[in-house]
Amino acid sequence: MAEIKLNNLTKRWGDFIGVDDQSLHIKDREFLVLLGPSGCGKTTTMRMIAGLEEPTAGEIWIGDRMVNDDLPKDRDVAMVFQNYGLYPHMTIFDNIAYPLKVRGTDKSEIRPRVEKAAEQVELTEFLHRKPKALSGGQRQRVALARAIVRTPKVFLMDEPLSNLDAKLRVTMRAELKHLSRALQITTVYVTHDQIEAMTLADRVAVMKNGIIQQLGTPDDIYNNPANLFVAGFIGSPAMNLINGSVTDGMFVTTGGTRLVPVKSPDREKAILGVRADDMHVHEAGQGDIDVTIYAFENTGESTLLTVQWGKQRVIARGDRHLRKDQDDVVGISLNQDHLYLFDPETEDRIEM
């Protein structure tokens, strides 16, 4: 049980900046997700917490101890790797028991603890097998069991679900969430999958180019994106970003369509952000604007309409029973309570 504090943490390789002077305070028992595209510094940040990477500058605190100079083994963390990092020459039992054995845990104590961990991840019947004889999902569970067999101060998980197939990923995600609620241990979780971030996190830190773009609850990140990057990264499909300007309190697209009223002083350039769910689809002539359908997709639980809007394409989500075809004309209206305005120069959100 511990909080983690990163103070002005920096990692550079020559001229390349992995993590750029970032500070982050992870609360005790919090599930924090580091989210971002590949190369954004999220894994580097985690590896520095684990002690597998040495920071160029800055401090790492776990609990009330600065761990910069501690070896990984002395930091009392447990980590789940993307490729599981199992020991192929050991049985599942020995894999799970390894953290206990190497730390000199009493022999009589090892068996019950390994069995308990194996039970928590439903591996009991595989304990005598070697990792080679297990499926991907089972190997992932071994990695998890190895992490929870001890009670570390901190869990670190590096894209633990990314090697699993889509269906298994959803199941394991729920199991992870259940497990983390039960264990109540501070967790840092790295992923590029925004759904994992939204579903698992207490708080999400969205990273790009070594800099944390926004830190907040999943709700916060989704409903109040701090800048263009976060707005475009979170949500599926991604938020529609429409170029235009603000004139006389109205957002006007580059094509000259006066679209919606916005509470913002006039500005020459602005980007309007609106999620697919906040674009309502009507019959032609009944919305704010008529558009032509570029592509119509039926996902089963809803329909997605990619529509040509001047030179841009935007995506609207329609009712699951809606049936349209390519080149049909539909009306679109925007939910004016959920519009976002961004400054194209600074990429920051403009409050309105």
Which CB atom, from 18 or from 99, has the smaller least distance to other proteins?
99
Q: Which of residues 1-40 bind other proteins (CB under 8 A)?
A: none
Give, for 351, the enclosing helix (H) or strand (E): none
Query: Does position 316 bind other proteins by CB under 8 A?
Result: no
Phi/psi of residue 107, nearest 5 degrees:
-55, -40
Given the rule CB under 8 A, which of 47-55, 188-196, 315-323, 324-332 is the region that contacts other proteins? 47-55
- CB neighbours of 341 closer than 8 A, spacing ≥ 6? 246, 251, 262, 264, 270, 271, 272, 273, 349, 350, 352
Which CB atom, from 162 or from 312, has the smaller least distance to other proteins?
162
Q: In whole angstroms, how close is the CB of 136 to other proteins at the nearest point?
A: 14
Structure-block tokens of residue 57: 């500058």
Q: In whole angstroms, how close is the CB of 103 to other proteins at the nearest point?
A: 5
C-beta neighbour count of 6 within 10 angstroms: 20
Which CB atom, from 102 or from 166, has the smaller least distance to other proteins?
102
Cβ atoms 187, 50 nearer than 8 A:
no
Q: Tell me if the bond preceding 237 is cis, omega within 30° of 0.
A: yes
Q: In whole angstroms, how close is the CB of 39 to other proteins at the nearest point?
A: 18
Which CB atom, from 47 or from 275, has the smaller least distance to other proteins?
47
| String marking each residue 122-161 x if it binds other proteins according to CB under 8 A | ---------------------x--x---------x-----
Cα distance between residue 181 and residue 20, in whole Å: 32
Residue 349 DSSP SS3 = strand
Query: Of 187, 176, 167, 183, whose CA–CA distance to 2 is shortest?
Result: 187
Query: Does position 102 bind other proteins by CB under 8 A?
Result: yes
Q: In whole angstroms, how close is the CB of 71 to other proteins at the nearest point?
A: 7
Size (the chain), residues: 352
Phi/psi of residue 180, nearest 5 degrees:
-70, -35
Residue 187 DSSP SS3 = strand
Q: In whole angstroms, how close is the CB of 68 to other proteins at the nearest point?
A: 16
Cα distance between residue 78 and residue 243, in whole Å: 46
Which CB atom, from 90 or from 350, has the smaller least distance to other proteins?
90
Query: Of 155, 137, 60, 177, whose CA–CA distance to 99 is shortest?
Result: 155
Q: In whole angstroms, how close is the CB of 214 to other proteins at the nearest point?
A: 29
Q: Which of residues 60-99 bind other proteins (CB under 8 A)?
A: 71-73, 75, 77-79, 81-89, 98-99
Which CB atom, from 36 or from 152, has the smaller least distance to other proteins?
152
Q: In whole angstroms, how close is the CB of 67 to other proteins at the nearest point?
A: 13
Among the listed residues 18, 36, 51, 160, the single contact to other proteins using CB under 8 A: 51
Binding site for other proteins (CB under 8 A): 50-52, 71-73, 75, 77-79, 81-89, 98-99, 102-103, 143, 146, 156
